[in-house]
Amino acid sequence: MSLLERLRTGLRRTADQLRGRFDGLPDARPAARGARGGAVAAIDTLDALEEILLEADLGVAATTRLVEAARDRAGDGDLRSVVRAELLRVLDAANPAPAPAARPRVVLVVGVNGTGKTTTVGRLARLVMDAGERPVICAADTFRAAAVEQLEVWARRVDADFVRARPGSDPAAVVFDAISSGKARGRDVVLVDTAGRLHTRSNLMGELDKIRRVAGKAVEGAPHETLLVLDATVGQNGLSQARAFLESAGVTGIVLTKLDGTAKGGIAAAITAELGVPIRYVGVGEQIEDLLPFSPVEYVDALFESGW
Amino acid sequence: MFGSLSERLQSVFAAVRRDARLTPESVETALREIRLALLEADVNFKVVRAFIDRVRDRAVDRSVLESLTPTQQVVAIVRDELRALLGDGQGGLPPSRQRPQVVLLLGLQGAGKTTTTVKLAKWLERQGRHALAVSTDVRRPAAIEQLRLLAGDAGVRVHEPDPGTSVAARAAGAVESARSLGFDVVLVDTAGRLHIADDLMGELETLKVAVEPSELLYVADAMTGQDAIKSAGEFNRRIGIDGVVLTKMDGDARGGAALSVVSVVGVPVTFVGDGERIDDFHPFHPDRLVSRMLGMGDVLSLVEKAEQVVSREEASRLELKIRRNDFTLQDMRDQLTAVKRMGPLDRLMDLIPGMGGMASQMPGDVDPRALGRTMAIIDSMTPRERGRHQIINGSRRRRIARGSGTTVQEVNRLLKQFVEMRRVLRSVGAGSRARKGKRGRRAAPLPPGMGFPGR
């Protein structure tokens, strides 16, 4: 099933259930505007467009930009195609850099608490194996209770090498061990799960910096990729998270999880627009194969699917 | 918490206050800013629209614009409307007649249900109520293990049936066990689920029938965006929720989703989780939050925090010392320890009226390490030096600087601040004595650490 189909099924399910349920809210659009004749359609549509973008969590700044782009070019065809093209331009501009040739390639997975980092690492391992490569899974979340056990279950499910830390030990040391073990066994990729941390905690962000330095000592150029896991339900705080993790962990891509709910994770698109960090993968379900490479066209279409 | 939203609102009001007279246009400008501030705080756009319209209706009223203090009136209107939006819940978890009282915690994946379960158990314990926790998350790998480990560290009892026990049987078993062991409350942690996952919502319905909870708490991530009302609304429609627990409030999330949920779904926020420590968990007070959002400070929360770490005897002993003017470096060190126990400094600053914006204006100054250095300096003094700061001469200063890994300049600065602090305290002490005579009532003890000099 393609991403689009998955998203469509998810969104349709939602749309059917929710349609009309939140319409009870007072609708404050002034009726007076209806009296202005010809302008009504365009303004109303711009308002509708603004609502859709705001509701998808794109945020005020990105929404304003898109609405203005639509207003400027309202002449050439319908608004949806203008905005669609504009969004695609932004998302396509942030093309991920080609994967470096290093061996093993070190992929660091970071994010705030509860976004789905551990699950994402399990699923990334599966994607790596599907591509014919052998991963090492490294459990560097030495803080959260049972995080290591949780990842171990995933490692067993995909039958990947697993390097674990003792609770409370230094995560950087575990990362070093995992990379050394990957080198010794000739593995292609080392996937590192880190503890969830709020981006405002400077000491915990400093710990990430240490992990990066230690990884760089174990293999040239590591970490080669740093993926920020964002929960699709996150609002404007996502931008603040992305900024902080970009600054202290050099994030190279975003994984947008839990897209199978009603949230659309529009803030990820706003992050791409603002910071140039590409979305790399999306999580769309509960199964291990429900992590898919990101496709801008399918995402943008799904974004508008239920709204219009 | 709610930091940036209150900053935005405060700057809006600062701008409004500059205008001597309000016009419908200037009200409109302020409203546009408020709208932006609320949208950027993730308040649902429909809620924002309704809110702005209500404020506008009341603010452009002639009696407001022509009154002598139009801007204060507008601020008051916004305050009223925010209060109306947040409801007048009391926060916390009142006891029910049910024995044991069964509380179900539900929500999306990653909201923080398991952590909340343990934090709530500890909060109940502080209220003198004993809670038994049980996990019914048989789906996520190691979820049951997570609750057991977390609860174990916190000294919270967990009901552990055989692996393979069904979801409903796990919860029912916990209730049975709590009844025979004499626990007051059973906290049922559930698996995270999407509100549109029909089968999993069905599982919750079954669970609800099996244990008949008196409270259903919806655990929500403070960073949630516009989707908050959909998910909370759907949980409420299918299962019914009595309250919302807002987690991860220690970040820089503006928490506008809370406003949306309260106003659209119509259930109050009961607790707020704002840190990684088990004790970082508090009943939610809408009134205090509104004051804080508008930059009026929150003295009540500050006093409560202080009371948590300083006993009443300690406080009155200190007060006596201040009156007698024998406040020593040792007392200052005790105060600093108490301040440290109260939590990060920048968060305390938000609670002090008029100080809300200060923390962000001087980020370098509210350096938690400065506090550590100050304590190190005092720790490097002899007991005699701590009791009588006058004897600390040049050579003693050099020794103290070496011992604490600081410089003589830093030691000098600390001593200067200490002397200044004593001077201020003496006048406060004298003041409270004077008032005592006049009003026949003692002034409240000085909150510990208010004269903190470590910056």
Complex ipTM:
0.80
CA A90 to chain centre: 16
* Contact present, A213 and A238 (Cβ < 8 Å): no
Lowest-pLDDT range of B54-63, B110-119, B306-315:
B306-315
* CA–CA min distance A113, chain B (Å): 7
- Could you report the per-residue pLDDT of A118-155, keeping only the tens digit for each? 999 999 999 999 999 999 999 998 888 888 889 999 99
Is there a domain that residue A205 lies in? yes
Q: Give the mean pLDDT of A106-116.
A: 94
Q: What is the model's pTM?
A: 0.74
Is there a domain that residue A143 lies in? yes
For B298-429, CATH gives: 1.10.260.30
Q: What is the pLDDT of residue B236?
A: 95
The domain containing residue A172 runs over which residues? 105-251
CB contact under 8 A, A55 and B196: no
CB contact under 8 A, B257 and A10: no
Select from B147, B196, B264 the Cβ nearest to the Cβ of A17: B196
Both structure tokens of A293: 């490479």
SS3 content of chain A, % helix, strand, coil (to 5): 50, 15, 35
**CATH superfamily for domain B3-86:** SRP54, nucleotide-binding domain (1.20.120.140)
**CATH superfamily for domain B101-291:** P-loop containing nucleotide triphosphate hydrolases (3.40.50.300)
CB contact under 8 A, A56 and B256: no
Q: Give the residue range(s) of CATH 3.40.50.300 domains in chain B.
A: 101-291
Best of A23, A233, A258, A284 to mutate (most B CBs within 10 Å, chain B): A233
| A-chain residues near B112 (CB < 8 A) | 113-114
The CATH number for A144's domain is: 3.40.50.300
Q: What percent of chain B has pLDDT over 90?
A: 37
Q: How many secondary structure helices (H) and strands (E) does chain A include?
A: 11, 8
Q: Which residue of A has its CA nearest to B113?
A: A114
In the predicted structure, residue A171 carries a pLDDT above the cut 50? yes
Q: What is the pLDDT of residue B452?
A: 39
Lowest-pLDDT range of A176-185, B26-35, B154-163:
B26-35
Total number of domains in chain A? 1
| B-chain residues near A21 (CB < 8 A) | 233, 237
* Contact present, A253 and A107 (Cβ < 8 Å): no
How far apart are alpha carbons B281 and B119 in whole angstroms? 6
Q: Which helix (H) or strand (E) holds B162?
A: none
Q: How many secondary structure helices (H) and strands (E) does chain B include?
A: 21, 8
* Residue whose token pair is 């994030």: A251
Is there a domain that residue A188 lies in? yes
Q: What is the pLDDT of residue A20?
A: 39
